[in-house]
Copies of this chain bind each other. A is one copy, B any other.
Amino acid sequence: MVGCYGKLPEEKVFKDPVHRYIHVRDELIWALVGTREFQRLRRIRQLGTTYLTFHGAEHTRFNHSLGVYEIMRRMLDNFEESDTWDARERLICLASALLHDVGHGPFSHSFEKVFHMDHEAWTRQIILGDTEIHRVLAGVDDQFAQDVADVIDKTYPNKLVVSLISSQIDADRMDYLQRDAFYTGVSYGHFDMERILRVMRPTEDQAVIKLSGMHAVEDYIMSRYQMYWQVYFHPVTRSAEVILSRILHRAKKLYHDGYQFQDEPKHFYSLFHGSMTLSDYLKLDESVIMFYFQIWQEETDPILSDLCQRFLDRRLFKYVECDPSTQMNHWLELRDLFVQAEIDPEYYFIIDSSSDLPYDFYRPGEEEERLPIHLLMPGGEFRELSRESDVVEAISGKKRTDHKLYFPLDLLEDDRTHADTKKKILTLLMSQEG
């Protein structure tokens, strides 16, 4: 018993397509899964707009969160064969794994950019605030919720525990690579997790990898590399993200301009004001957002209506490569032509850079960096992975920023107005390709 929680009388299992079964033996974990804040993750997709590129990727953060918990459980089981872990520390690890994403909202990336929010702050509030999750955690002891929040916040004193959830090779990443590969159907994303878990050794600061497992870790790093370029940075997904951000931006602007919405967008008011409470935040999920996008299709503002229709009917923007650093005049000229053609560039001429995206693959040595991977050499010393592995060295640290200009090709092809300007735009854009 730790606090008021013991072991379940009989192990519970969830059938999981990625890990086959997710095993729950702790009453605490079972109670956390049943909270309304955790169930809410069923209404928030794991990969945002990616389902518009890879139709299989309709899975939610609920799905992923269970997976991270399961990997953590297996890690700790492996560690426990050699070491002993304190029962309370073990529950902290499991709870943190389960809850690490609980603060995510709908289409987090775009919302955070437009409304200057931070899902990690919300996670903290959910764990520490007036929630079912908090009440469950408080059942362990007075300090427990705070400790879980600190682990997720990376300020927990036991650095090893932090690293299991948040480092270059943690339960979070090992789950999402496999899970996102499974649901998108791509052939990348496979690596031998069973072997990695077996060659992990807990140390004071982080889990290190026995040298004999280096190739399994190389394979994991390569999976990440391929997943980032093939899935996470996919230009079509980014096109949908661009439209989504523009919708939010437009709605906010209309609101501040005093526009009269046909149905009051009540769920958005506190967002527009920057005064969102936890209770308001927890009401936001992707159903709610999609509901508004649907009714906004019939708003009188042509831009809001058009963008919402594009998003729902998947009539996305096209793109060309662009390098804003060297061809500034070219892009300024193009932007002016959009204005001339009466296509508002604020909403229809968008330069998007992959470096803005919240993903990295493997960049040891950067600031505000996750702990790099260390190998445990036969002599007992540690060595950073990229110093031993040619492959990892080759791909690490290279910041391959990729800029694209997104625009509505269909509007430009509509020659009923401004035909000459549009023709000129198209010529300039086409010269950009290949």
Contacts and interface: CB of A to CB of B under 8 A. Distances in A.
A309 B391 CA distance: 41
A390 interface: yes
Interface stretch (A186-194, A334-342, A366-374): A186-194
A39 B312 contact: yes
A314 B34 contact: yes
Interface in A94-138: none
B58 A58 contact: yes
A285 B291 CA distance: 9
A391 B391 CA distance: 6
A198 B11 CA distance: 10
Interface in A1-31: 13-18, 20-21
Interface string A239-269: 0000000000000000000000000000000
A222 B225 CA distance: 12
Given A192-B187, A312-B36, A290 B16 contact: no
Interface in A313-327: 313-315
A97 to B, nearest CB: 16
A378 interface: yes
In terms of DSSP, what is the predominant structure of the interface of chain A? helix
B378 A433 contact: yes
A394 B51 CA distance: 33
A283 B263 CA distance: 15
B395 A390 contact: yes
B394 A39 contact: no
Interface in A262-296: 283, 285-291, 294
A196 B393 CA distance: 26
Contact of A395 (B17, B40, B312, B394): B394
A59 B63 CA distance: 12
A158 interface: no
A319 to B, nearest CB: 14
Contacts of A226: 215, 218-219
B66 A62 contact: no
A85 interface: no
Given A15-B184, A16-B55, A55-B62, A43 B390 contact: no
Contact of A56 (B15, B378, B391, B395): B15
Nearest to A186: B15
Contact of A393 (B18, B34, B394): B394
A187 B21 CA distance: 11
A14 B56 CA distance: 10
Contacts of A358: none
A331 interface: no
Contacts of A434: 378-379
A67 B186 CA distance: 16
25 contacts: A15-B56, A16-B185, A18-B185, A20-B185, A21-B195, A34-B314, A36-B309, A36-B313, A39-B312, A40-B312, A42-B52, A43-B290, A55-B62, A186-B192, A187-B191, A187-B195, A187-B216, A188-B219, A222-B222, A225-B391, A283-B294, A285-B294, A390-B395, A393-B394, A394-B395
- The 7 lowest CB-CB distance pairs between A and B, nearest first, are A394-B394, A17-B185, A287-B290, A291-B291, A378-B434, A187-B192, A36-B313
Interface of A: 13-18, 20-21, 34-36, 39-40, 42-43, 51-52, 54-56, 58-60, 62-63, 66, 182-188, 190-192, 194-195, 198, 215-216, 218-219, 222, 225-226, 229-230, 283, 285-291, 294, 309, 312-315, 378-379, 390-391, 393-395, 398, 433-434
Given A14-B55, A36-B312, A287-B288, 10 more contacts: A17-B185, A20-B194, A21-B195, A35-B313, A36-B309, A55-B63, A56-B59, A186-B192, A187-B219, A285-B290
